[in-house]
Structure 1
C-alpha cells in the first residue's frame, strides 16, 4: 500500500472541513432566506384569505356606497378606454360633471398600479367580484407595508406578522376604506411602504429611487390624506434623525427625497386647485359639526369586536355608528399589562418618529370635523393605528412578562370590564354580543399567555392570528355591512348594466332624485327596492353601459351646470331645493332666445322619475318611448343636427359647417364657412367649459367662454369668411406638473447614482 504523505492527508481533511462548513453555511443561508421570505408571504396569503370572509355574509361588501356609485363603474370605463389605446386619461366628456378625470384626482390616472387594475376590472363580468379582488390586493399591500415598517423599527418577524395581519381588518379600514372609500385605502396602503423605505434610505441602506417610487405611487393615487401622510412621515423622520444624530447625512437625504416626491405632487394636485373656481366643493372652511369625530373614550374599547362608538354619522338623527368603526385588534388592550414597557424607555430615540406621528394623528382625530380639504377626522384613525401597531410589535418582540401573573391578570380583567361597560352603555340592545365578545377575548388572552409560557413567541403569535380571524368572523356576522352610508345595491352584473345602452340611446338626461328611492329610517338608510334599478341608476353606474349621461358622481362638480339643471354630486336632481326645475330648465329658451339646454347638450333621451313628475309634459318634437312603474322615458322624434363625430351642438344662423371631428376626448376641430355677408359667429359645444380650454382659427387664438349652463362657446371674429377651428383642452398646471414629476424622477436617479458610487467607494 502506498503511504499518503502527511501534508496531503492534512490538506484533504482541511478541504473536507472547508466543504462541510460551506455546505452548512449555505444551508443556513437558504433557511434564513426561507424565513425571510416565508413570513411576509404567509402574511400576504393570510390577509388575502381573510379579506374574502366579509363576502360570505354580504356578497357586495366591496361593492358598496361610493365604491358602487363612483369608483368601480368608472374603473370599468377607464379600463375599456385603455384597452382601446386611449391614453392619457385626461377627460371623459360623456361623464359630464364627473368627467374631469385629472381634477377629480381620486381616480389616480397617473398611477401605473391603478391603470393595471382598471384593465383588470374591465375584464370582469361582475363588478362586486372585481371589487373583492382589487380591494384584497390593497389590503395585502397594506399588510406587507406594516410588516416591513415594524421590522425596520426592530420588531421580530413573528410580532410584525401579527400586527400586519390585524391592521387591514381594523374597523375603519375594513368597513369604510375597503368597503366604500377605496381611494383612501389605496393611498394608506402605500404610506407604510414609503415610511419603511424613507427610513432605510436615511440610514444609508438603500438608494433614494426606492422611497421616491413608493412615494410617487402614494401621491398619484390622488387622495389628499396620502399626501398628508407622506409629508408627516418625512417631518417625523427629520425629527427622529435630528434627535438621534447617529446617521451622517440623514437630514439632507430626507430633505432631498421630499423635494423629489413634491415634484410628483404638482402633477396630481395642480389640476385640482386649478379647477377650484368652477368647483362646488372647494372646502376652505374651518368648522366642527361633530360629524365623524371620535372621542378619546372610543379608544378604550378599540379591542372589543362588538363595540359600536357614539359617533355622529351621515344621517341627521344618527346617535351612533352601525358597525365597530373604532375597532383596532382584539389583542392590543388586553395584552397591555403583559408587555415589557421598559423597551420604550430604553429605545425611545429610535422610536421617536413613531411616537411623534402617533401623537399628531391622535390629536387630529379628535379635532374639528372640517379643515380645508380634510374633513371627518375618523379618516385619520387608521394612520394613528399604524403607529400604535408598530409600537405594539416592538413591545411584543420582547416577549410577555410572566412575573406578577396574578396582578397582570387582574389588570386585564379590569380592562375587559371597562371595555364591556362602555360597549354596553353605547348600545345596550346588543348586550348579548358584548358578552360573547368579552368571553372570547378572555379565552384568547389566557391562551396567548399559556402559549408563550410553554412555547415562546411563535405559538403566541399563532394565537394572535387565530383571534384576528375569529374576531373578523364575528364582526361580519353581526355587522355584515356599513349601514351608515347608502346601501344602493346596484346591479353588479356587467351584462345587466349594459342593457341600458339600447334603452337610453344618445345623450341621456335623467330627472331623478335619490332620496325617494333610498329613504331613511331611525338613523340609517333603508335598502331600496332592487326593481327600481331596472329603470334608473345614479352616480357613475351608467358608465359601465357606455351611456352618455349627465348623471355622474363628482367630487369636484361644475357650478354653472349644477345651477342650470339643479344637480347634486351624484347627478341627481335636488328635489327639495328646486322641484321640477331640472325638467323645466331643459326646455326653457337660453339667453337671447337661444336653443334650450336639451338641444345644446344634444340630448336624445330624457328619463323622468315618476316619484318626481308622474306625468311630464311632452315637448314638441319628443314622444313617450316607454313608461314603467318608476320612470317615463322621452325620446326625440328627430335627432338634433350633427356635422360629424364631434360635440358641436349649435352654430350661429348663417354659418355652414362642413366637418366636425373629435380625434380625442380633449380635442375637436370644426371646418366652417360664412353664408351671410357679416355678423358675429359663435360655436357652442356639448362640453363643459372646464378651465384649460383654448381655441384657434387657422392657428390664430380666439376666446373661449361659458355659454348656457357653462357649455364651451367659441366666438369668432366677424371678418372671417371661413376656416378651421381647433379646440383643445389641457388641465391647468399640467406642463408644470409633468416638469415637476420628471425633475423629481431625474433627481431621484441622480441621487441614487451618487449614493451607489459612494457606497462602492466606502466598500473599498
Structure 2
C-alpha cells in the first residue's frame, strides 16, 4: 500500500472536509473518483480478451437473465408478479425472495433486458457498469474514513479484482454482484447519517440492498449497522446511536417484507429443514487467506482438484502493510472500530461450515472480507505509515514469498504460475518502495514530493493491470460452468416452436448442452426457458415444492428423470384422471436418450407427435387444455361452475354437492397462503399430494365460494413495507426542513455539517 507522508500531530483534528475543503479539493476528489471509474472499466475489459463470454457464465445464463427477462415482460404487460401458476414449483416468486419485485433497480434492469437482442452483450455491459458503480462506492467509503484520494483510488480499483468478485460474482452470481456494489454505498451513507447528515441516502441504499432479496446482503447490512452502532457507543453519542438505530429499524421492516413469505412457505418446500454440513464445496480456509496476496494463488479443497481459480485473492499490495509504524496503528484505527468488527465477523464466518440451512458456499463472503481489509489497509496507509526501510521491504518480500510457496505446495500444477507471481509482485513492491524512498528523500524537490502520491497510485494501477493479465493467462475461464446458453435472444425461441398450452419437458439435457451448444436448438436449461415466453414447468427455483419434485424427480434446474414420462401418463388413483390432465399439460417435450422408439411414437390417446428431431420428440394435444389454475376434478356428486379466474383468485358457484360433502381439486400447487371465502375449507388431504384441494360441505350448494391466494403473512408484510417507506420519507423530509430552517437562521442552531461537532471531530477526516 502507498505510504502517506508524515503529518504533524495536533491536539484536535482538522474540521470536517465538508467545511474546510476548497473547490479545488473537491475538484481533485472528483478527478480521482472519475479516474477510478474509468480505470475499473478498462481493467474489466481484460477478461474478455481471454474469454469473450466471461461475464455470461453459469447462473447468469440459466438464472439471472431469464428471470430479468420474464419479470420485465410481466411489468411491460402491466403485471407485478407474485406467483405464476404455469411455472408450478418454480412459480412462487414472492417466497423465492430473490426475484427483487420490491427493488426499483432490479425492476429497471428487468425492463431493460426485454429490449436486448443479445443476452451476452446485455449482461456484459450491465455487469461492468455495476462493478464500476460498486468501485465508486468503495472510493467514497474510503474517503469517509479519512483515506487519502490517491490511496482511495488504489483501493477502489482493487475491489472488483478480488478473486470471488472476479471469478464468481461478475461471471455467474448476479445477485451477489448487486449486493457487493450496493454495500459500500449503504455503509458510506449510514456513516454520514451517524455524523448528522440527512438519512435519505442511507435509507435509499439500505432499501435497495435488502430488497435485492439476497439474504447474504441483508446479513452484511446488519453487521454494518451493528458496527456503526458500536462506533456511536464508543464515542458516547446518543443522537448518533439513535439515528443509526432508526436506519436499522427501517431496514429490518423491509427484511420482514422480503423474507417472511419464504420462511412461512418453507415447510412445503425442499428447504423445509435446516442442516449444518461440511460438504467441502467452495470452502474458505486459513490457507486461502495466507495466499491471498498472490494473484495466481489457489488452495484446492481436495487432492487432485485442478478446476480451481484464485478465489481467495484479495490484493497484491497488502504486503506493504509491513511498512506501517506500530505506534501509529491504534490512533489510525480508533475511528474504525465498527469496520474492524465487520471484518473480523465475516472472516470468522467464512471459516465455518460450508452449509448452514440455505446458506452455502463460504467463498461468497470473501468480497466483503476484501472490502473491509482494503479499507483498513487504506486507513493505515493514510495515517500509520512512515518512510519504509530496507528491513520493512524485506518483510514485504518475505510475505509474498511465503504466500507463493504455500500456494505452489498446495497445487503443484501451478508452480510456474506461483513463481511468476512471486517475481512480478516482488518487482512491483520494490518499484513502489523505491519511488516512495526517492520522493521522500531529504534532497527531493517540493514538486516531486507533491506529485509523488499521484505517481505511485498510477504505477500501482498499471501493476494491477499487469497482474490481471497474468491471472487470466493462467486462469482464463470463470469458476462456474459454461452452460452454453445462446447469446441471441431470438435463439431461445427455437426449442418450443410448435408447442401449445402449458409445457412439460421430460429429460435432463443439462450435461448434453454443456458438451455441445447445438443442443440448445432442442432444449434449454432452468430459467433460460423464461426468455422464450411460453409456459413450461422446468424453470429454475431454489425452493421447489417437495411432493411435486419427488413425484416427477425434478431437480432445481428443471431436469427430470426418464421414469417421469410414465408417471405423467399414469392415472392418479383418487381422481381416476391422467396426471397430464391434472397438471393441465398440453405439450410434452421429450429427450430421446434412454426412451424407446415405441414409447416415443405412441403418445396417449388425444395426443399426436407434433415435432421430431434427432434429439427430441414433442407430443401435442389435439385439443389443448386451458392454462393451469382452474378446476380439474370434482368428486362424484359435486358440480361447480367457474365464474371468474385469475392468478390469485377463483370464484365458483356450487351447483351440486352430496349430503356427505364434496371435494374439488385445482391445477395449482397447494402453497401456503390460500384461503376459502363463502363456505368450505382447504382440505388436508391433497389430491396427488400437491394439488390445491377444496372441501365443500353440503351447506355450500347454491352458494358462491372463492379461493383466494395471498402470500402467507401478507398483511404483516405490506404493513412492514408501508411503515418503513413512510417513516423513511417522513424522517428525510423532517431532516430537510430542519436543515432549511438552520440555513435561513444560522443563529438558531448549527448547520447539519456542524451538527454533533465532537463526533465529527473524532472521526477520521480525508487527508487530501
**TM-score, L = length of structure 1:** 0.87
Write the deviation string for residues 683-720 of structure 1: whole angstroms up to 9, x where unpaired.
Answer: 43322121112233xx4464366332512233334345
Counterpart among 268, 280, 297 of residue 287 in structure 2: 297
Write the deviation string for residues 19-52 of structure 1: whole angstroms up to 9, x where unpaired.
Answer: xxxxxxxxx9543332233322332233233333
Structure 1 residue 98: Cα displacement: 1.4
Counterpart among 610, 620, 627 of residue 625 in structure 1: 610
Counterpart among 480, 494, 498 of residue 499 in structure 1: 494
Quote the Cα distance in structure 1 between the aligned partners of 2:247 and 2:205: 11
- After TM superposition, the structure 1 = structure 2 runs for residues 47-446 of structure 1, keeping only pairs within 5 Å, are 47-87=40-80, 89-204=81-196, 206-245=197-236, 247-312=237-302, 319=305, 321-333=307-319, 335-398=320-383, 401-404=386-389, 406-446=390-430
Q: Is the 8 A contact 2:679 2:705 kept in 1?
A: no
Q: Residues 461 and 419 (structure 1 numbering): CA distance in 2 closer, same or farther, change over 3 Å? A: same
Quote the Cα distance in structure 2 between the aligned partners of 1:111 and 1:667: 25
**For residue 18 of structure 1, what is the aligned residue in structure 2?**
none
Write the deviation string for residues 298-354 of structure 1: whole angstroms up to 9, x where unpaired.
Answer: 212212221122225xxxx86365211011122223x22334444422233211111
Report the aligned-residue RMSD.
2.7
1:567 correspondence with 2:554: yes
Q: Residues 191 and 704 (structure 1 numbering): CA distance in 2 closer, same or farther, change over 3 Å? A: farther
Q: Residues 593 and 691 (structure 1 numbering): CA distance in 2 closer, same or farther, change over 3 Å? A: closer
Q: Is the 8 A contact 1:244 1:350 kept in 2?
A: no
Q: Is the 8 A contact 1:586 1:598 kept in 2?
A: yes
Quote the Cα distance in structure 1 between the aligned partners of 2:702 and 2:466: 74
Larger displacement relative to structure 2 (170-179 or 748-757): 748-757
Structure 1 residue 570: Cα displacement: 1.0
Q: Is the 8 A contact 1:554 1:570 kept in 2?
A: yes
**For residue 687 of structure 1, what is the aligned residue in structure 2?**
668
Counterpart among 715, 719, 722 of residue 739 in structure 1: 719
1:549 correspondence with 2:544: no
Q: Is the 8 A contact 1:694 1:704 kept in 2?
A: no
Q: Residues 355 and 593 (structure 1 numbering): CA distance in 2 closer, same or farther, change over 3 Å? A: closer
Counterpart among 511, 527, 552 of residue 540 in structure 1: 527
**For residue 489 of structure 1, what is the aligned residue in structure 2?**
484
Quote the Cα distance in structure 2 between the aligned partners of 1:34 and 1:614: 73
Quote the Cα distance in structure 1 between the aligned partners of 2:572 and 2:666: 14
Larger displacement relative to structure 2 (74-83 or 188-197): 188-197
**For residue 703 of structure 1, what is the aligned residue in structure 2?**
682
Q: Is the 8 A contact 1:95 1:543 kept in 2?
A: no
**For residue 590 of structure 2, what is the aligned residue in structure 1?**
608
Q: Residues 342 and 463 (structure 1 numbering): CA distance in 2 closer, same or farther, change over 3 Å? A: farther
Q: Residues 746 and 659 (structure 1 numbering): CA distance in 2 closer, same or farther, change over 3 Å? A: closer
Question: Could you say what secondary structure the match of 2:56 adopts?
Answer: coil
Larger displacement relative to structure 2 (456-465 or 370-379): 370-379
Quote the Cα distance in structure 1 between the aligned partners of 2:496 and 2:308: 37
Q: Is the 8 A contact 1:298 1:309 kept in 2?
A: yes
Q: Is the 8 A contact 1:500 1:547 kept in 2?
A: no
Write the deviation string for residues 334-385 of structure 1: whole angstroms up to 9, x where unpaired.
Answer: x223344444222332111111211111211111122233222211122122
Q: Residues 48 and 684 (structure 1 numbering): CA distance in 2 closer, same or farther, change over 3 Å? A: farther
Corresponding pairs, count: 710
Structure 2 unaligned residues grouped into runs of 5+? 1-20, 440-450, 743-747, 752-768
1:649 correspondence with 2:632: yes
Q: Is the 8 A contact 2:287 2:299 kept in 1?
A: no
Q: Is the 8 A contact 1:287 1:369 kept in 2?
A: yes
Quote the Cα distance in structure 1 between the aligned partners of 2:209 and 2:238: 28
**For residue 469 of structure 2, what is the aligned residue in structure 1?**
473
**For residue 581 of structure 2, what is the aligned residue in structure 1?**
599
Write the deviation string for residues 444-493 of structure 1: whole angstroms up to 9, x where unpaired.
Answer: 2233234433442111111121222222223233222224x332111122
Structure 1 residue 105: Cα displacement: 0.7
Q: Is the 8 A contact 1:555 1:569 kept in 2?
A: yes
Structure 1 residue 730: Cα displacement: 0.9
Question: Could you say what secondary structure the match of 1:249 adopts?
Answer: helix
Structure 1 unaligned residues grouped into runs of 5+? 1-27, 519-526
Counterpart among 442, 458, 466 of residue 462 in structure 1: 458
Write the deviation string for residues 62-100 of structure 1: whole angstroms up to 9, x where unpaired.
Answer: 22121111111111111111111112x211222222111
Structure 1 residue 553: Cα displacement: 0.8
**For residue 761 of structure 2, what is the aligned residue in structure 1?**
none
Question: Could you say what secondary structure the match of 2:590 adopts?
Answer: strand
Quote the Cα distance in structure 2 between the aligned partners of 1:371 and 1:189: 25
Counterpart among 34, 39, 43 of residue 41 in structure 1: 34
Q: Is the 8 A contact 2:284 2:363 kept in 1?
A: yes
Write the deviation string for residues 407-435 of structure 1: whole angstroms up to 9, x where unpaired.
Answer: 23322332222122122213222333323
Structure 1 residue 282: Cα displacement: 3.4
Quote the Cα distance in structure 1 between the aligned partners of 2:528 and 2:348: 38
Q: Residues 677 and 227 (structure 1 numbering): CA distance in 2 closer, same or farther, change over 3 Å? A: closer
Q: Residues 632 and 742 (structure 1 numbering): CA distance in 2 closer, same or farther, change over 3 Å? A: same
Larger displacement relative to structure 2 (731-740 or 30-39): 30-39
**For residue 587 of structure 1, what is the aligned residue in structure 2?**
569
Question: Could you say what secondary structure the match of 1:284 adopts?
Answer: coil
Structure 1 residue 104: Cα displacement: 0.8
Structure 1 residue 634: Cα displacement: 2.0
Structure 1 residue 141: Cα displacement: 2.7
Larger displacement relative to structure 2 (716-725 or 468-477): 716-725
Larger displacement relative to structure 2 (271-280 or 739-748): 739-748
Q: Residues 669 and 480 (structure 1 numbering): CA distance in 2 closer, same or farther, change over 3 Å? A: farther
Q: Is the 8 A contact 1:279 1:556 kept in 2?
A: yes
Larger displacement relative to structure 2 (230-239 or 34-43): 34-43
Quote the Cα distance in structure 2 between the aligned partners of 1:91 and 1:695: 18
Structure 1 residue 741: Cα displacement: 2.0
